[in-house]
């Protein structure tokens, strides 16, 4: 499953992945569908909110997020994280690109402490820091879902 659409969906499908792309903007989904048809690939493209994902079902081996998590406020980050747990199984990968904002600063971007919530259900496999357009510190993160206990049951 990918957050965002377009080139990422096509690239994953061309490399053998069964792909579900999600965006909350209908126009982005229409454009992604057009590009997918031109590329001759099959993808399930959905208009949905990443904090709800009411139209997304099943379990995914890979979730790719390029620019979703870092745009959410703390309450919506919690909802997003709960969906990640629901849509993955132990061994699933979660790849995320995001950029940081200064503590106390406004605008888009996440705080380093926002990443702490992933430690409960995901093991950090790799971190590559960089810069977003030469202005904001950014990061690529590769997580792997671990088995966790939820209300007395271990996920498997």
Residue reference for tokens 């049951």: 153
Collapse the DSSP code of 116 into the 3-class scheme (helix H, G, I; strand E, B; otherwise coil) and give the result: helix
pLDDT 10s digits, 5-17: 678 889 999 999 9
Q: Which CATH number fits domain 50-149: 3.40.50.720, 2.40.110.10, 3.40.50.150, 3.40.50.1820?
A: 3.40.50.150
Please state the domain extents for the chain: 1-48, 50-149
pLDDT at 138: 94
Cα distance between residue 77 and residue 83, in whole Å: 10
Q: Is the pLDDT of residue 37 over 70?
A: yes
Mean of the pLDDT values across residues 86-107?
A: 90
Q: What is the largest CA-CA distance in the chain?
A: 48
Mean pLDDT score of the chain: 90
Amino acid 1: pLDDT: 58
Give DSSP secondary structure letters for 13-27. HHTT--EEEEES-HH
Q: How far apart are CA 131 and CA 88, in angstroms?
A: 29
Give the other-Cβ count within 10 Å of 51's Cβ: 18
The answer to whether 96 and 108 are in contact (CB under 8 A) is no
Q: How far apart are CA 9 and CA 4, in angstroms?
A: 8
């Amino acid at each position: 499953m990918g957050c965002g659409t377009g080139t990422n969906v096509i690239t994953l499908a061309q490399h053998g992945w069964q792909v579900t792309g999600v965006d909350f903007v209908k126009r982005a989904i229409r454009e992604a569908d057009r590009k997918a048809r031109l590329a001759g690939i099959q993808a399930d493209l959905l208009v949905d909110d990443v904090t709800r994902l009411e139209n997304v079902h099943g379990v995914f081996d890979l979730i790719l997020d390029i620019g979703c998590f870092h745009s959410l406020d703390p309450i919506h980050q919690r909802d997003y994280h709960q969906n990640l747990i629901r849509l993955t199984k132990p061994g699933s990968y979660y790849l995320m690109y995001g950029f940081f904002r200064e503590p106390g600063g406004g605008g888009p971007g996440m705080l380093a402490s926002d990443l702490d919530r992933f430690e409960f259900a995901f093991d950090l496999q790799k971190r590559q820091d960089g810069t977003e357009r030469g202005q904001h510190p950014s990061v690529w993160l590769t997580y792997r879902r671990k088995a966790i206990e939820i209300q007395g049951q271990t996920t498997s």
